[in-house]
Amino acid sequence: MSTAREYQFTRRDFDYLRRVSNQHTGIVVTDDKFDMFYSRLARRVRALGLKSFADYCDYLEAPTNAGEITELVNAVTTNLTSFFRENHHFEFLAKKALPEAVARNRATRKLRIWSAGCSTGEEPYSVAMVLAEQEAMLRGWDVQLLATDIDSNVLAQAAAGVYPVSRLDGLPASRLKQFFQKGKGTQQGKARVREELRRKIQFDQLNLMQPLDIERQDIVFCRNVIIYFDKPTKTMLMNRFADVLADDGYLIIGHSESLYQVTDRFELIGQTVYRKKR
Ligand SMILES: C[S@@+](CC[C@H](N)C(=O)[O-])C[C@H]1O[C@@H](n2cnc3c(N)ncnc32)[C@H](O)[C@@H]1O
């Protein structure tokens, strides 16, 4: 059975588009993503008033249309996330990583945490909630929580901090009350992260394929991002994280990810939790 498509989409178009997106993002697009590419990018072909995917490839080639790369990247990223996803990482943060960093940084009273590949913001807001709950430990500290992603759409959603209430299902009542508000200009069925929590996070667009101009970090969350990269790209990025992290700083990755045979600059100390070696 053949499915009629609105636009012609050939294997050649697919190969071109996945090559361009790979060059920009590091994401390896496998053969089974053919249909996904079609459905996500047909919108762009339509919006630009083009006749086919071949035209779209030509359009991307023109230097004057370089901005379209952002649209391509936004269309091909996978942004699945949730609040307190893999909750054991947040327990580790509260019980071990944070007290250790506080002890280590007594003299400077500075704490730096980075959510790299933050998607729509659930991960950095979860970190911010843990920090707020550990406020006594951090009183008078200079705390910076950086949240970055390559995808400008998800980043805008993250910065707005507005979520359908269904996304907050697993959160206990105490966190809902302390950190979210409904009503007051928020649409029906949506909740907004309270301003006090939102302003604790700096949201920036950042492509992890480019050299990192980032200050020394105590803890880096980069979860469910490298899963889409090939091994040399993983090695390059993990070594850059090692350069950015403080000695004994922590790198936290996703449940199906591993640094085994990727880099030896970290030691595994818990479930997908790595400590930078001195
Ligand atoms: C599946 S989400 C993970 C979200 C969150 N870290 C979590 O684990 O729930 C992966 C995110 O990585 C981002 N990403 C992919 N390639 C990237 C790159 N080269 N630079 C920065 N972010 C990238 C995607 O845009 C996407 O939002």
Residue 2 pLDDT more than 70? no
Mind spelling out the 3-state secondary structure of the chain? CCCCCCCCCCHHHHHHHHHHHHHHHCECCCHHHHHHHHHHHHHHHHHCCCCCHHHHHHHHHCHHHCCHHHHHHHHHCCCCCCCCCCHHHHHHHHHHHHHHHHHHCCCCCEEEEEEECCCCCHHHHHHHHHHHHCHHHHCCCEEEEEEEECCHHHHHHHHHCEEEHHHHCCCCHHHHHHHEECCCCCCCCEEEECHHHHCCEEEEECCCCCCCCCCCEEEEEECCCHHHECHHHHHHHHHHHHHHEEEEEEEEECCCCCCCCCCCCEEEEECCEEEECC
Could you read off the pLDDT of 147-158 as tens digits, one per residue?
Answer: 999 999 999 999
| Whether residue 70 is found in the same domain as residue 126 | no
Residue ending a domain, choose from 76, 98, 131? 76
Q: At 144, which CATH number?
A: 3.40.50.150
Query: Do 137 and 168 fall into the same domain?
Result: yes
Mean per-residue pLDDT, 15-27 = 97
> Percent of the chain beyond pLDDT 70?
99
pTM metric for this prediction: 0.96
For residues 219-245, give the mean pLDDT: 98
Residues 237 and 105 in one domain: yes
Cα 146 to ligand 1 centroid, rounded to whole Å:
14
- The 10s digit of each residue's pLDDT in 186-201 is 788 999 999 999 999 9
Q: Which listed residue (13, 149, 151, 218) is catalytic?
A: 149
Q: What is the residue range of 50's domain?
A: 11-76
Work out the pLDDT band at 185, boundaries 50, 70, 90. Answer: confident
CATH code of the domain covering residue 68: 1.10.155.10
Q: Does ligand 1 have an atom closer than 6 angstroms to the CB of 253?
A: no
Q: Which whole number is the average pLDDT over 27-37? A: 95
| Residue 146 near ligand 1, beta carbon < 6 Å | no
Number of domains comprising the chain = 2
User: Does residue 248 have an active-site annotation?
Assistant: no
Average pLDDT (3-26) is 95
| Residue 149 designated active-site | yes
Check whether 1 has a pLDDT greater than 50: no
Average pLDDT over residues 220-237: 98
